[in-house]
């Protein structure tokens, strides 16, 4: 991960962590269920963006290097990984 | 939320928070991007289960009370809320 | 399903069917892969809306009747079904 | 798209089309709402697999060619497209 992506990803993960702690407090204070669900869904959406951000950086660095490289096995491996995370993301 | 659901939801939120902190450390230690994405996706899946758990409890308590009650506006409101969270969940 | 919902659902299903046939033709004519994927994703989004529409109608009819009724097993059954389709929708 | 992928994709699209027509008939015959929703969700899951299949083929052909090629703009374009369909897939 390049430095800027790393910094942004860490900030967003820290923000999601803070959000989750806030949701724990909501549950403690007997907040309305639907409001809790909406906040949980907001964290899920924020995490989706984090994944997209990391993938974008990964494509531009490791994947590009592997595809331009001379090892067919390595190329195959990075492409399979992309398909695999795409497949999981469509099931979340 | 009944006490058991509340306890379970809080435990799972705390577990997701711990998981996210672990992912922050992975990023700090330059873990492989795809491994980071997979961990983020695991947290998203765990949060989906939390939402389902809260919704299930909500249906059995607030929604059942509202639907058996005598206020049409209140019934309408709880039903619209279910449709709304369902709609968001299919976009996550 | 009430008549209006039925009509709307049928129209949208027919529209999704037409859309899929158009995508088959795109594949036949060697359209660019990403354009095909985008069209497939558009059909998926349209189908999500159909599910939400049916669920909304179901909540106002069958679920309301069951919850206001006197059979605890029937109430339990309809509530479990809602949780189940919600759970699946968050995995699509 | 290579010939095998094209054939498989066309078969699966035709199968999804047939499935949707069956769902239209279910609606006509007043099938139970939850059963209709489950069938719609099954088509959505099948379409997700079609997208993954096309993406996998696209990565091995167009994307690999572009990344190994000498045009930075073309490389940038194909990578942005992957991020874009990934982003949409996480919202379906």
A91–chain C Cβ distance below 8 A for any pair: yes
Amino acid D18: pLDDT: 97
Interface of A with D in 6-65 (CB under 8 A): 48, 51-52, 55-56, 59-60, 63-64
* Residue B89 CA, distance from chain mean position: 10
Would you list the DSSP string of A32-62?
-HHHHHHHHHHHHHHHHHHHHHHHHHHIIII
Kindly give, in sequence order, each residue whose CB lies less than 8 Å from that of residue A77, ignoring residues fewer than 6 positions away.
Answer: A66
Say whether pLDDT at B51 is over 80.
Answer: yes
For C25-84, the pLDDT digits (tens) are 999 999 999 999 999 999 999 999 999 999 999 999 999 999 999 998 999 999 999 999
Kindly report the average pLDDT of chain B as a whole number: 94
Residue with tokens 């209140």: B74
- Map chain B to HEC letters: CCHHHHHHHHHHHHHHHHHHHHHHHHHHCCCCHHHHHHHHHHHHHHHHHHHHHHHHHHHHHHHHHHHHCCCHHHHHHHHHHHHHHHHHHCCC
Kindly give, in sequence order, each residue whose CB lies less than 8 Å from that of residue B24, ignoring residues fewer than 6 positions away.
Answer: A10, A13, A14, A17
Question: Nearest residue of C to residue A90 by CA position?
Answer: C92
Share of chain D above pLDDT 70, in %: 99
CA distance B89 to chain D (A): 9
Say whether pLDDT at B35 is over 80.
Answer: yes
The sign of the dihedral angle between the CA atoms of C70, B76, C11, B87 is negative
Say whether pLDDT at B92 is over 80.
Answer: no
The sign of the dihedral angle between the CA atoms of C58, C64, C69, C75 is positive
Domains and CATH numbers, chain C: 3-89 (1.20.58.1000)
Kindly give, in sequence order, each residue whose CB lies less than 8 Å from that of residue B62, ignoring residues fewer than 6 positions away.
Answer: A32, A33, B78
Residue D11's pLDDT band (cuts 50, 70, 90): very high
> What is the mean predicted confidence (pLDDT) over B33-48?
95
For C12-29, the pLDDT digits (tens) are 999 999 999 999 999 999
Give the up-direction half-sphere exposure of residue B72: CA atoms within 13 A in the CB hemisphere. 0
For D13-48, the pLDDT digits (tens) are 999 999 999 999 999 999 999 999 999 999 999 999
Amino acid A1: pLDDT: 87
CA distance D73 to chain B (A): 24
Residue with tokens 């990934």: D86
Amino acid A90: pLDDT: 81
> What is the mean predicted confidence (pLDDT) over B22-34?
96
> What is the mean predicted confidence (pLDDT) over B57-68?
93
Query: Residue B84: how many CB atoms within 10 A of its CB?
Result: 15
Amino acid A13: pLDDT: 98
Amino acid A79: pLDDT: 93
Query: Do C83 and B56 count as a contact with CB atoms less than 8 A apart?
Result: yes
> What is the mean predicted confidence (pLDDT) over A62-91?
91
The complex scores an ipTM of 0.90
Say whether pLDDT at D92 is over 80.
Answer: no
CA D80/CA D73 separation, integer angstroms: 11
Share of chain C above pLDDT 70, in %: 100
Say whether pLDDT at C92 is over 80.
Answer: no
Residue D63: DSSP 8-state: I
> What is the mean predicted confidence (pLDDT) over A23-30?
97
> What is the mean predicted confidence (pLDDT) over B19-23?
98
Amino acid A84: pLDDT: 93
Question: Nearest residue of B to residue C87 by CA position?
Answer: B52
Share of chain B above pLDDT 90, in %: 89
Residue C29: DSSP 8-state: T
Kindly give, in sequence order, each residue whose CB lies less than 8 Å from that of residue B8, ignoring residues fewer than 6 positions away.
Answer: B53
Amino acid A82: pLDDT: 94
Amino acid B20: pLDDT: 98
CA distance B77 to chain A (A): 11
C4–chain D Cβ distance below 8 A for any pair: no
Amino acid B91: pLDDT: 78
pTM attached to this predicted model? 0.91
For B74-84, the pLDDT digits (tens) are 999 999 999 99
CA D71/CA D73 separation, integer angstroms: 5
Query: Do A86 and D60 count as a contact with CB atoms less than 8 A apart?
Result: no
Amino acid C89: pLDDT: 86
Residue A92: DSSP 8-state: -
């Amino acid at each position: 991960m390049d430095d800027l992506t790393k910094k942004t990803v860490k900030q967003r993960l820290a923000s999601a962590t803070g959000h989750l702690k806030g949701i724990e407090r909501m549950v403690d204070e007997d907040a309305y269920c639907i409001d809790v669900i909406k906040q949980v869904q907001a964290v899920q959406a924020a995490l989706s963006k984090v994944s997209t951000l990391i993938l974008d950086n990964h494509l531009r660095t490791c994947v590009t290097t592997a595809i331009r490289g001379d090892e067919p096995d390595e190329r195959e491996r990075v492409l399979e990984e992309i398909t695999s995370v795409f497949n999981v993301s469509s099931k979340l």
